[in-house]
Structure 1
Amino acid sequence: MANGSAFLGAVSDEVKCRHVFNLGILRFKIWWMMPQMGKSGSDVPVETQMLLLEAKDESDVNNRTIDEFESSTYYILFLPVLDGNFRSSLQGKSTDELEFCIESGDPAVEAAEFYEAVFVNYGSNPFELMKESMKILSKHKGTFSVRENKKYPGSLDWFGWCTWDAFYHAVNPQGIKEGLKRFGARLNSIKENSKFGKGTDTDMNGSTGSLKDFITDIKKTFSLKYVYLWHALMGYWGGLNPNAQGTNKYNAKLLYPVQSPGNLSHIRDLAMDRMEISNASAITRASDDYYPKNPASQTLHIATVAFNSIFLGEIVVPDWDMFYSDHYAAEFHAVARALGGCGVYVSDKPGKHDFKLLKRLVLPNGAVLRAKYPGRPTRDCLFNDPIMDGKSLLKIWNLNTYSGVLGVFNCQGAGTWPCLDNVKNDSDATPSNLTGCVSPSNIEYLEEVAGDNWTGDCAVFSFNSGSLSRLPNKGSLNVSLKVLQCDVFTISPIKRYGEKIQFAPIGLINMYNSGGAVEAIEFVINDSNCQVKIKGRGSGHFGAYSSTNPKFCMVNSKEEEFEYKVDEKFLTITVPHGNNFWEIDVAFVA
């Protein structure tokens, strides 16, 4: 295989439908995966779907610099894959051996020889290793496409409302209309959100003739951009009852495993913009459900999606699921969505909303500031347990067009991994505050946005404190958080413009993902002055690092007042509401 990668296989003396051979991320439910950390083969649970190992060359450690020590770290990836009609998974033994299990799931489908059961690769960058491995597998197997080759639905960039946690099984037309009316009206009055419209003369009795009529009605009344329907691939969980009202007219028969084509052809005619089919989408849920009533699941949810995205994020855009904006852990979830590179949608009950929080996620026109990649744990967090070790903060990184974004979460002391309920939980003795550090070096691929004129330093903005710091790429700041607390850091490379000016845009500092608002930067110089021109979207307070106090600032060709803090070299300008897109000109003496 390419780049030193290979497949593992095995040959058995017996022809069977299930084999276990001596030889991450595990499947802890039929539907979902979760991460687990360990130090030996016995720590690898059954149904492990991906195993990432860290290996260090520790010879002559004392005589090495930090950079040299980091360069001596290698990562080894094991990916169990499909081999013909068989699926494989990894599992450990009490003797610290690693096995792979391969099975067809059908006693009638048996074999004894397997040559491509487990894919193995290695590299010095774990994220690049996963990306390249998925590309190799995609090309070799021909059964899937990698994420970067898939077309994303437009809804990813727009704020949404899901009815599941708002109504559960009691979902009904009247409730949906009431929710849209109350939710949309508040958003309009605060944010002029045309996505929801201002309709108030809606028929609230839910007496529409069909699902198609209902969808057409709410799209028109509330100016909805998209209406999606979630639908399980096999019907509703266990399938559709062929004798139930509404299906008996099709004279359906149970044909395993073929899905009745009549169901899909009917759904296509319902005025839907898109149908979410579980297991067959460019966007895929990356964790178990959001459980608003389960205190232990709040931290587990964030950590699970972040770690699962290491694996899934190269194939799909991981979906972080819905959340309540009016909830004690709402900000914890909101920050994770802001830097997850995912769609952002809530499942608020009608009238139960935190609009102060939503304004930090959603722009006035209903768009969200989505980061470029799936949000994943930083390299120094990959082998730490953010839930149960009692000492580790979880850090999640991502990139925008001109900056990085780093979220820090204290997930300790609020629960245990489901399969480790009987294991000693060190987080039980976790202090009220945990302290860690953040660094520009936590952002992978930062050089992609830094450019040739990068000074090597970065401007680091803390959302919680509103403070701005200048750090070298390997420098760090301490951060201290209580359980279920988080902070967001925008990390913007400081670039040199001309001989006197060093500048780094932060973005809209009133938004969790501040840097997502910045779309273009240009430097212009003439006889009278030199200007840094920044194009972006949204409204609120724009912030930037500027080594020099500007001569004047303009927003959309109109001169505006600005504030400049000399000690932090922190420039802030107000972008008036009503501007979906803007251009800021920051002028300096030539």
Structure 2
Amino acid sequence: MRGIGVSVRLEGGERRKLALHRVERQEGAACAEYVHVYQDDEEAKEAVVRLTLRCCPEGVAAFVEGEIVRSNDFGDRRALSPDDGLLIHIGALDELQGVLANYQHKDWWTRPHFDSDLRALPERTVSLLWRTPSAYFQLLPVTGPAYRADLQADGRAGGLAVRIFSGQGGMTSCRTLAFVLGGGENPYLLPERNVTLALRHLNGQTLPRNAKVYPEILDYLGWCSWDAFYHEVDEKGLLAKAEELQRLGLPVRWVMIDDGWSEVRDRKLYGMDADPAKFPRGLAHTIEALKRQYGIRWVGVWHTIAGYWDGIHPDSEMARELREYLFTTRRGNVMPYPDAGRGFGFWHAWHGYLARQGVDFVKVDSQSAVHNFLRHHLPVGQAASAAHTALEASAALHFDRTIINCMGMSAENIWHRPVSAVSRNSDDFVPQERHGFREHALQNAYNSYYHGAWYWGDWDMFWTENHDDVQNMVLRAVSGGPVYFSDALGRTDPARVWPLIFRDGKIIRCDRTANPTPDCLMRSPISEPLPLKLWNKAGRAGVVAAFHICEAQTDVQGAISLDDVPDMTADSAWVYEHFSRTAVRLARGQSLPFALQAEQCRLFLLVPDRGAVTPIGLADKLVSSAAVERQWEEGKSCMVRLREGGTFIFAADQPPSSVRANGETLKWSPSACPSLYEADCSHLHGAVTLEIVRA
């Protein structure tokens, strides 16, 4: 980075660049600080900005202190522009060999951008990763207690600018952590390292993902009403769908009653309970029936962060009863008060009521609308902090902190949720759109790179009967987040559900958040003829899903190697492909080529080579190796403990002399693929101990 400068814009004025007045260096025990002082020319002396670069072994933290100074206190007190009061200018980045930028293309969502020409960098970029010949670097703008920072292109020179803004007029000073910058040989370590570095200075705004608790409920299979009923959801439809799922034998453990259940007038929330026309016996009756008659263990309900899309109806009884906890914006929207304590009063009252009706958790939508509601009322960071702190305090009290955050990928939301662990990772799944999977997969894959430092991504619901059903099933298998579907009445295909779950309904969830593999991390698989490859881990095994999402309909060529899973340490592994049931032993440095036709996908497991016998896992599960709980040796026998029975598949140098399961001799057979063998123990219930006796 070079050519650093600062400019300011005052309300109603033109942007002007400040002159570098002096640079101060301060040495600490572990870090060095460089303080750059910028100010107006000698005549104006109206703006003074201190940019402090704290350079530590783990990265650089950039702090800004800016102030508008007037010598005449009785004169016009000019203030920073609420939209772009300060810009930090950074000159051209040298030797760029690739870029992944994530930018806020809608108020609620982000998507990737790959152009190495920084003159094309989109506005509202919230993460920038680039590669040079020697290392990777990530520049991560920060939203602090008041101010938000994001990135944008900076003129024709090919540099970039860090925009710092409050969203509120009248602000005459700015003190904030503007960005953090980290570098290294492994790009997948940078987001978590940068977030941890930033949070060290932000006094408990949020936690990194590795310090959060994944909700128990979301470890199980779910079903959501949205794409099944949209706004026409009612008790009759919910119970009919629950009966269908029970008849199909699918262990759906939770149901989300999405938008459409609430009592609403004029797009505003009118009551605490459900719409009486759709739920004539009340929300509690529906929830009790779902749980008692159909074995649904948990039920969640949807609402927005303002109650409903346009807030709370001012003429409603709940508005009158809870008026001390509500706030009316200048444009007339009534919403929970933007103060953590008073806002909690509203959520506590409503969530307490919902919990008494049997509700177990909530999905909270339209979160990035907080800034739209409160623009010019409060600084952007303060508004987000108040909204999320109040909401999460109530959810912790009533729902054991179980929230699905949604429509909240604006930076101020990401940086200000205190403890919630799961957040939507993309725009909506749109089942009717013929090629909708392309954008859906693209956003989830590349958003996960930076978003996964804070949250397990919710990759949204899907349809099990759809033109993209197999691709969507595989995408959820590798995501590391919740798995739930939303088929309408009569439309569920169990064959697209069972490969994702165990018999008790627990989802087979990978260990971390998914990421694009190194060979496509900074390339667009939509515009370039290459597969989108996503990697994750399941125990010691690597998981790599490959998709054809290229706009061109010709085949795309790719390859699998051990380098696709960066933290895999094995020198050799068996690469097992789920759909073809084939396996090849690969050493480090070798690769396995493959081709994908349009809209085709594959799923590869990279299972570390265990020598004479390597268990692959259950062939009828997408992440087969997740069923293997333990492996050990007893004399000439390889012992394997499975979580449950199924078609067990293993690789071996020689055919076994026998295979036993829980002491029972099993028939085994060689696969069509050399060195691969199968044994059927699907009739056994509970955990299964296998003994593979070597010849």
TM range (shorter): 0.7 to 0.9
Question: Which stretch shifts more, 34-43 or 316-325?
Answer: 34-43
- 1:438-453 superposed matches below 5 A: 438-447=560-569, 450=570
Work out whether residues 363 and 539 of structure 1, in 8 Å CA contact, stay in contact via their aligned partners in 2.
no
Aligned to 1:375: 514
Structure 1 counterpart of 2:111, which letter? Answer: M
Structure 2 counterpart of 1:457, which letter? Answer: S
Displacement of 1:238: 2.6
Secondary structure (helix, strand or coil) at the match of 1:534 reads strand
Whether 1:297 and 2:436 are equivalent positions in the alignment is yes
- 1:264-303 superposed matches below 5 A: 264-277=351-364, 278=405, 280=417, 281-303=420-442
Partner deviation per Cα, 1:197-242 (whole Å, 9 max, x = no partner): 9xxxxxxx98663212321221111111221223322212231213
Structure 2 counterpart of 1:372, which letter? Answer: D
Secondary structure (helix, strand or coil) at the match of 2:508 reads coil
Question: Which stretch shifts more, 404-413 or 549-558?
Answer: 549-558
Whether 1:393 and 2:499 are equivalent positions in the alignment is no
Partner deviation per Cα, 1:30-83 (whole Å, 9 max, x = no partner): 111111111121121000000001111xxxxxxxxxxxxxxx4x1111000024
Q: Distance in 1 between matches of 2:466 and 2:673?
A: 37
- Alignment CA distance shift 1:566-1:306 (3 Å): closer
Moved over 4 A (4+): 9-15, 194-197, 205-208, 245-253
Aligned to 1:5: 59
Q: Distance in 2 between matches of 1:378 and 1:225?
A: 37
Displacement of 1:4: 4.3
Work out whether residues 235 and 286 of structure 2, in 8 Å CA contact, stay in contact via their aligned partners in 1.
yes
Structure 2 counterpart of 1:375, which letter? Answer: A
Q: Distance in 2 between matches of 1:91 and 1:195?
A: 44
Whether 1:168 and 2:278 are equivalent positions in the alignment is no
- Alignment CA distance shift 1:394-1:207 (3 Å): closer
Displacement of 1:518: 1.5
Work out whether residues 445 and 516 of structure 2, in 8 Å CA contact, stay in contact via their aligned partners in 1.
yes
Match of residue 359, structure 1, among 494, 498, 520:
498
Work out whether residues 217 and 254 of structure 2, in 8 Å CA contact, stay in contact via their aligned partners in 1.
no
Match of residue 516, structure 1, among 626, 632, 636:
626
- Alignment CA distance shift 1:288-1:195 (3 Å): closer
Q: Distance in 2 between matches of 1:577 and 1:196?
A: 27
Q: Distance in 2 between matches of 1:162 and 1:207?
A: 17
- Alignment CA distance shift 1:136-1:10 (3 Å): closer
Aligned to 1:135: 196
Higher Rg of the two aligned structures = 2
Aligned to 1:155: 217
Aligned to 1:495: 610
Displacement of 1:109: 3.0
Partner deviation per Cα, 1:154-175 (whole Å, 9 max, x = no partner): 1232111001111110010110
Aligned to 1:78: 139
Q: Distance in 1 between matches of 2:468 and 2:456?
A: 24
Structure 1 counterpart of 2:656, which letter? Answer: P
Partner deviation per Cα, 1:110-136 (whole Å, 9 max, x = no partner): 42x556201111111011122222222
Structure 1 counterpart of 2:359, which letter? Answer: M
Match of residue 536, structure 1, among 619, 628, 642:
642
Partner deviation per Cα, 1:93-120 (whole Å, 9 max, x = no partner): 3411200111101113342x55620111
Whether 1:215 and 2:313 are equivalent positions in the alignment is no
Q: Distance in 1 between matches of 2:672 and 2:622?
A: 24
Q: Distance in 2 between matches of 1:431 and 1:91?
A: 33
Whether 1:547 and 2:669 are equivalent positions in the alignment is no
Structure 2 counterpart of 1:493, which letter? Answer: P
Q: Distance in 1 between matches of 2:87 and 2:586?
A: 51
Secondary structure (helix, strand or coil) at the match of 1:145 reads coil
Match of residue 693, structure 2, among 573, 587, 590:
587
Q: Distance in 2 between matches of 1:30 and 1:137?
A: 24
Give the unaligned 5+ runs of structure 1.
57-71, 198-204, 414-429, 451-455, 497-501
Question: Which stretch shifts more, 279-288 or 38-47?
Answer: 279-288
Displacement of 1:566: 9.2
Work out whether residues 408 and 488 of structure 1, in 8 Å CA contact, stay in contact via their aligned partners in 2.
yes
Q: Distance in 1 between matches of 2:195 and 2:252?
A: 40
Aligned to 1:404: 542
Q: Distance in 2 between matches of 1:479 and 1:350?
A: 38
Aligned to 2:301: 229
Structure 2 counterpart of 1:490, which letter? Answer: L
Matched residue count: 528
Work out whether residues 159 and 368 of structure 1, in 8 Å CA contact, stay in contact via their aligned partners in 2.
yes
Question: Identical aligned pairs, as a percentage?
Answer: 24
Match of residue 51, structure 1, among 128, 138, 142:
128
Structure 1 counterpart of 2:237, which letter? Answer: G
- Alignment CA distance shift 1:75-1:137 (3 Å): same
Structure 1 counterpart of 2:630, which letter? Answer: A
Work out whether residues 549 and 588 of structure 1, in 8 Å CA contact, stay in contact via their aligned partners in 2.
yes
Structure 1 counterpart of 2:61, which letter? Answer: F
Aligned to 2:107: 30
Structure 2 counterpart of 1:3, which letter? Answer: P
- Alignment CA distance shift 1:392-1:461 (3 Å): same
Aligned to 1:19: 86
Work out whether residues 25 and 48 of structure 1, in 8 Å CA contact, stay in contact via their aligned partners in 2.
yes
Q: Distance in 1 between matches of 2:642 and 2:524?
A: 38
Whether 1:124 and 2:263 are equivalent positions in the alignment is no
Secondary structure (helix, strand or coil) at the match of 2:201 reads helix
Question: Which stretch shifts more, 23-32 or 9-18?
Answer: 9-18
Q: Distance in 2 between matches of 1:485 and 1:561?
A: 34
Displacement of 1:503: 2.5
Whether 1:314 and 2:453 are equivalent positions in the alignment is yes
Work out whether residues 464 and 493 of structure 2, in 8 Å CA contact, stay in contact via their aligned partners in 1.
yes
Q: Distance in 1 between matches of 2:230 and 2:189?
A: 40
Secondary structure (helix, strand or coil) at the match of 1:360 reads helix
Give the unaligned 5+ runs of structure 2.
1-54, 69-78, 91-100, 256-276, 330-336, 365-404, 409-416
Work out whether residues 224 and 484 of structure 2, in 8 Å CA contact, stay in contact via their aligned partners in 1.
yes
Displacement of 1:180: 0.6
Aligned to 1:436: 558
Work out whether residues 184 and 196 of structure 1, in 8 Å CA contact, stay in contact via their aligned partners in 2.
no
Displacement of 1:86: 0.5
Displacement of 1:377: 0.4
Partner deviation per Cα, 1:381-429 (whole Å, 9 max, x = no partner): 111101122x12100001111311100011111xxxxxxxxxxxxxxxx
Structure 2 counterpart of 1:387, which letter? Answer: I
Secondary structure (helix, strand or coil) at the match of 1:105 reads coil
Structure 1 counterpart of 2:693, which letter? Answer: A
